[in-house]
Chains A and B, each alone.
Chain A
Amino acid sequence: MKILVIEDEQALLESILAYFTGEGNICEHVSDFAAANEKISLYSYDCILLDLGLPGGEGLELLTKLKQLKKRDGVLIISARHSLDDKLAGLDLGADDYLVKPFHLSELKARVSAIIRRKNFDGDNVIHFNEITVDVSAMKINVKGNQVILTKKEFDLLVYFLSNRNKVVTKNAMAEHLWGDEMDLSDDFDFIYTHVKNLRKKLLEAGSADYLRSVYGIGYKFGDI
């Protein structure tokens, strides 16, 4: 996957690049409006991570530019502005999603993966991981030919894990992904444990290997053993 990160905050940019690089992903990055403008004109990307507040120009103009060039790049806006107007304007101009800073890298990855899946497979929205096959649009999971029945939350959790395979995902990030960050949850995310436990049990019963590991009590990691 080819990803362009347009972000002027160097520290944040480095983190995003580190998190996304690997697994066959190619990440490019620019830090100002002019360079971003040049990149999107010359190349095509599976997904563009766009920060709205850029030195040298307004990020939303890049969206207009993409539209003019009739490009099909997926665009995820990352912005410090938690404003409904910006969000609607961005989505109107053809952005696929909108994420407000601060965010969890795992959430960013999950959203980018979802955008790329939607763009690339046009309806045939399937994730493969070793013996596990997940048909995201049909909400079907297949392990070694066995159908696995999951609840909505368990399904979302599995897709989230698969988007962040081999990464440690915090309980906090999982809770925000499943219940939304508006919920003002308490800091006690133990109730997530039940869902993780059930998901793991169902996958094991269907014959998958045990890919889920708890990490330091902070979160979980789903990945190759």
Chain B
Amino acid sequence: MKLSNRYNKANILTSIVVLIITGIIYYVVIHFILTEKLDRDLAVEENEINQYVNTFHKLPLPASYLDQQISYKTLSGIISEREFLNTIYFNPKERENEPGRSLITVVHLGGKTIEVTITKSRVESEDLIRIILLITLGITVVLLLSLLLINRFVLSSLWRPFYSILNRMKAFEVSRMDTIEQEPTKIDEFNELNKSVNAMAERVRQDYKELKSFTDNASHEMMTPLAVINSKLDSLLQTESFTEQQGALLEDIYHATGRLSRLHQSLLLLAKIENNLIPDFQNIELKEMVEAKTRQFQELLEKDRLILTKDLAPVEVKMSRYLADVLLNNLFSNAVRHNVSGGHILIKLNQQGLTISNSGNPGHLQTKIFDRFSKSVESEGMGLGLAITKQICNLYGFCIDYHEESDEHVFTVYFGD
């Protein structure tokens, strides 16, 4: 739930409850006050009738004024209590029944007990209450509407800097050297957030830069001794006075240095792809490249008596030729390396993607195959090939997927998402 929604909800709920309670209190209080006033008026009228009776010893005429009616009734026996009550009476002027307030009282005239009913119209006070209610309701609605509008527009514009900072943080990539720009805002909290985010990004970038330059330097410095070892081995080999046993030792050293330099190149390549330092972006005829690659791997296929099936459609992708070559190399080597003797490899290429499936021992590839240095026990590789492949795919927005089906290992590179 968004902060503003949450806030809206609380705000509006509270407003509604408070306004309703206010309305009720208003209604009750005003109703009470007006009734009180009517009752006072009725009491004044009663007083007047009593004075009239006391002075003239007769009843005043049962007049009906504008909003006031007086009627008499001779009672026999039962003396009713003096009481105020709400009634409905007939207003002759308006020719309709109207709500009224009546005072029933008794006067004594010459030994007779006469019940006097004084009725006053309640219409005005009802009207007043209605108007007050309507105004209250109107204010409630206007208030709610304005709250909604404020939340909708003011809040969202208030939060805009926050979301824009958030988006920049999401898009932030340490390898790309762009800065998180300052978002202009007058709100202190966001300014502070912005500053902290920028400071953090700067720190991260600085650390990354240092690490990167260290790796670069270390790599280059390591290449020279490796070159020396390699050249010395080549020179040593030319002296030609070795026993068979020494020859085997030499071969082992060769293998180790070869491995070391390949490992090294792979790590450098990985770093370069991650930093997008490989510039030659061009259209690649992938079909031709796959064909060439199968020719290149011919000897390896023959050695393990692997049967290769191709189903290739002409496909053009935009990427570096060098990386395309690396990508195919890694997928092909993988398919050959994790195969069984006399197995098969199927290569399928179409607009959606490139699929390479090969027979192999089931289940010896784990889920983390795209991680660096993750490799199966029997693998001869370094565990970097698929990590590089994955990085290349990431660089160009391709998607690589691996799954196993009925003793087959299937790698698919989808061009596009």
Q: Which residues of A contact B (CB under 8 A)?
A: 9, 11-12, 15-16, 18-19, 53, 80-85, 100-106, 153, 167-168, 170, 172-173, 179-188, 190-192, 194-195, 215-219
The answer to whether A102 touches B261 (Cβ under 8 A) is yes
Category for how many chain B residues contact A: 35 or more
Also in contact, A12 and B231, with CB within 8 A (given A85-B279, A216-B250): yes
Partner of A215, one of B247, B268, B272, B299: B247
The distance in angstroms between the C-alpha atoms of A19 and B280, with both chains bound, is: 36
The distance in angstroms between the C-alpha atoms of A194 and B300, with both chains bound, is: 11
Partner of B278, one of A84, A215, A217: A84
B130 CB within 8 Å of chain A:
no
The distance in angstroms between the C-alpha atoms of A184 and B228, with both chains bound, is: 22
Also in contact, A183 and B329, with CB within 8 A (given A82-B268, A191-B303): yes
Partner of B231, one of A80, A105, A184: A105
Q: Which residues of B contact A (CB under 8 A)?
A: 220, 223-224, 226-232, 234-235, 237-238, 240, 242, 244, 246-248, 250-251, 254-255, 257-259, 261-262, 265-266, 268-269, 272, 277-280, 296, 299-300, 302-303, 322, 325-326, 329-330, 333, 337, 380-382, 385
Chain B residues with CB under 8 Å of A186's CB are 337, 380-381
The answer to whether B322 touches A16 (Cβ under 8 A) is no
Partner of A106, one of B234, B244, B300: B234
Also in contact, A9 and B228, with CB within 8 A (given A102-B261, A167-B238): yes
The answer to whether A194 touches B258 (Cβ under 8 A) is no
Chain A residues with CB under 8 Å of B259's CB are 187
The answer to whether B258 touches A187 (Cβ under 8 A) is yes
The answer to whether B250 touches A101 (Cβ under 8 A) is no
The distance in angstroms between the C-alpha atoms of A217 and B240, with both chains bound, is: 13
12 more contacts with CB within 8 A, not counting A105-B235, A167-B238, A168-B238, are A9-B227, A11-B232, A12-B227, A15-B234, A16-B231, A82-B265, A82-B269, A83-B277, A101-B224, A102-B223, A105-B234, A153-B299
Q: Could you list 5 A-B pairs, sorted by A, with CB under 8 Å?
A: A80-B223, A173-B234, A183-B333, A187-B259, A188-B380
Partner of B329, one of A85, A167, A184, A219: A184
The answer to whether B380 touches A191 (Cβ under 8 A) is no
Chain A residues with CB under 8 Å of B300's CB are 185, 191
The answer to whether A19 touches B303 (Cβ under 8 A) is no
Grouping DSSP codes into helix (H, G, I), strand (E, B) and loop, the B interface class, with mixed when no group exceeds half, is helix
The distance in angstroms between the C-alpha atoms of A116 and B322, with both chains bound, is: 27
CB distance from B260 to the nearest CB of A (A): 9
Chain B residues with CB under 8 Å of A85's CB are 279
The answer to whether B262 touches A219 (Cβ under 8 A) is no
Give the total number of A-B pairs whose CB atoms are below 8 A apart: 131
**From A108, which residue of chain B is reached at the shortest CB distance?**
B231
The answer to whether B322 touches A217 (Cβ under 8 A) is no
**From B260, which residue of chain A is reached at the shortest CB distance?**
A102
Chain B residues with CB under 8 Å of A83's CB are 272, 277
CB distance from B391 to the nearest CB of A (A): 15
CB distance from B386 to the nearest CB of A (A): 11
The answer to whether B380 touches A104 (Cβ under 8 A) is no
Also in contact, A218 and B254, with CB within 8 A (given A105-B235, A183-B296): yes
Also in contact, A216 and B247, with CB within 8 A (given A19-B235, A81-B220): yes
Partner of B296, one of A80, A82, A179, A184: A179
**From A80, which residue of chain B is reached at the shortest CB distance?**
B223
Also in contact, A184 and B280, with CB within 8 A (given A12-B228, A172-B254, A191-B299): no
Partner of A216, one of B226, B248, B265, B333: B248
Chain A residues with CB under 8 Å of B261's CB are 102
The answer to whether B279 touches A217 (Cβ under 8 A) is no
Chain A residues with CB under 8 Å of B266's CB are 184
Chain B residues with CB under 8 Å of A82's CB are 223, 265, 268-269
Partner of A182, one of B246, B250, B278, B329: B329
The answer to whether B226 touches A102 (Cβ under 8 A) is yes
The answer to whether A102 touches B229 (Cβ under 8 A) is yes
The distance in angstroms between the C-alpha atoms of A218 and B253, with both chains bound, is: 11
Partner of A218, one of B220, B228, B231, B251: B251
The answer to whether A182 touches B247 (Cβ under 8 A) is no
Partner of A15, one of B228, B247, B303, B380: B228
